[in-house]
Amino acid sequence: MFPRALAVVLALGAAFAPPAWAQPEILAIAGGKVLDGTGGPSIENGVVLVEGEEIRAVGRRGEVAIPGGARILDASGGSVLPGLADLHIHATHFIASPRAFEDDAMSALRAAAILRQALDSGITLVRDAGARNYTATALKRALAQGYIEGPRFVICNQIVGVTGGHGTEGDLMETPKWLRESDSPYEWRKNIRRNFKMGADYVKVTPPFTREEIQLAAEEAHNFGARIAVDAAGQGYPGMMMVEHAVAAGADTIEHLAPMKNEDQVIAMMKERGTILVPTLHATRRFAGERWDRPTERDARELTRPGDYEHRFRKMHAARIPMAIGTDTGGKDQGEIGAFYAEEILRWMAWGYDAHEVLQAATRVGAEAAGLGDVLGTLAPGKWADILVVQGDVLAAPASVVRPAWVLVGGKIVRRPRPEAASESVTSGPN
């Protein structure tokens, strides 16, 4: 594992590790349909055995021994699966009305509410895709120290891009708060390194950029043992070659499903290199508003009509490009992250994904895109115990995952249902 990735793993796990002198508790989630996130068949009447913050065993009830004294969560009639990952949010992004009060503290407080709402929706891993100043660092530290409650939080701090590029639209008369403007190799390297100094886990870049700039950014990220995400919001930038340049440079994820030049070649290159796409389909529709159903002439020229998005998505799916779910939730979207996540799932299924595939995108692929596939995303011995218990069969209704009965992070129950919704007991002997 790269040094930077190891540091991310250690930092994300620290808040949930038990004291050295504590005897790890054993917890058995038993009786439900277990979907382990690998794409294999579900396990009926399954058991997930958790010891401390890690998963010890996964299997069919009767084949996995439940030790005496273990706590049992009865998941009968429900589904057990890994925690969800949201790969693209902007928790602190909020453009205030002219006379509204808005500073870093207000942005962070608002973001804390969104992170709590994410946890309520079963989202146990969030990757912030660009934050105001260093509010993301403050939020990550507050989470680790228990001052606020929320999911595991992977951050890039401020976006890196060029003067006047995507991410500066709301800051025309002042220094951008969400993007570090970089216009020379020196500035690109310095700003990326500064983000890492201030606690970033990965690099996020927005267009427009040159081939040289994106190659430099990818090199700098990978030198730190970190990943790089590249925004493909290319509308308005002539040529739209940015996606091709980014994939060729070694981008780990491409954000959004914008039009691109040489589309077939780019898809082939993404497949060869294992580049992950975070398409944010529902966000595209939200931002387009009425134009989604009544596109302008320019939309038609730039292939930003609904049918064009669907065509690109289906091509990516057919080519088996790995895709992860991102809602693009922002500061203005209080109380919406769960609904946005469900809408994303439904859009993917309407455009060709089946239930097994979309749940893998929500769990395993999401963890891999965040650089945490070694420890999260599937239910397997040795993985961190970030687990959901959902009432009913999630294969019949995948969007129901955002209404979990139980949420565990690092083996710790952080959300539980009303007493009548599920039972919890202690065994007196082996089962």
CATH for 59: 2.30.40.10
Does residue 149 form part of some domain?
Answer: yes
Q: Are 110 and 95 in contact (CB under 8 A)?
A: no
Structural domain for 401, as ranges: 3-82+377-426
Mean pLDDT of 349-357: 97
**How large a percentage of the chain has pLDDT more than 90?**
72
Which residues neighbour 160 within 8 Å (Cβ) at sequence distance 6 or greater?
179, 180, 182, 188, 191, 192, 195, 203, 204, 205, 206, 217
Question: Is 101 found in the same domain as 11?
Answer: no
Q: Please give the mean pLDDT across all residues of the chain.
A: 89
Residues 283 and 194 in one domain: yes
Same domain, yes or no: 41 and 119: no
Name 399's Cβ contacts closer than 8 Å, sequence gap at least 6.
342, 343, 345, 346
- Does 286 map to a domain? yes
Q: Looking at the predicted structure, is the pLDDT value of residue 224 above 60?
A: yes
Residue owning tokens 């928790």: 91
Does 352 have pLDDT greater than 90?
yes
Helix (H) or strand (E) holding 306: helix 306-318
- Indicate whether 170 and 260 sit together in one domain: yes
Angle between helices 337-350 and 281-288 (to 10 degrees): 110
Check whether residue 290 and residue 418 sit in a common domain.
no
Which one-letter DSSP state was computed for residue 39? Answer: S
pLDDT of residue 239: 45
Residues 364 and 243 in one domain: yes
Same domain, 137 and 200: yes
The predicted model gives 261-271 an average pLDDT of: 94
Whether 56 and 146 map to the same domain: the answer is no
Closest CA to 258 of 291, 236, 273: 236
Which whole number is the average pLDDT over 15-21?
47
- State which H helix or E strand residue 84 sits in: strand 84-90
> What's the rounded Cα separation, in Å, for the pair 336 and 318?
31
Indicate whether 171 and 258 sit together in one domain. yes
Domain boundary among 351, 369, 387: 369
pLDDT at 139: 97
Residues 250 and 362 in one domain: yes
Residue 241 has pLDDT above 80, yes or no: no
pTM of the prediction?
0.90
In this structure, the answer to whether residues 333 and 358 fall within a common structural domain is yes
Per the structure, how many domains does the chain have?
2
Task: Band the pLDDT of 23: cuts 50, 70, 90.
Answer: low
Residue 221 lies in a domain: yes
The answer to whether 310 touches 346, Cβ cutoff 8 Å, is no
Which uninterrupted H or E stretch holds 137?
Answer: helix 135-144
- Domain assignment present for residue 431? The answer is no
Condensed to tens digits (0 to 9), the pLDDT of residues 315-338 reads: 999 999 999 999 999 988 999 999
At residue 26, does pLDDT exceed 90? yes
- Kindly give the pairing relationship between strand 84-90 and strand 329-330: parallel
User: Do 203 and 68 sit in the same domain of this protein?
Assistant: no
Ranking 69-73, 154-158, 239-243, 250-254 by mean pLDDT, the lowest is 239-243
- Residue 214 sits in a domain whose CATH number is 3.20.20.140
pLDDT at 175: 66
d(CA 66, CA 64): 6
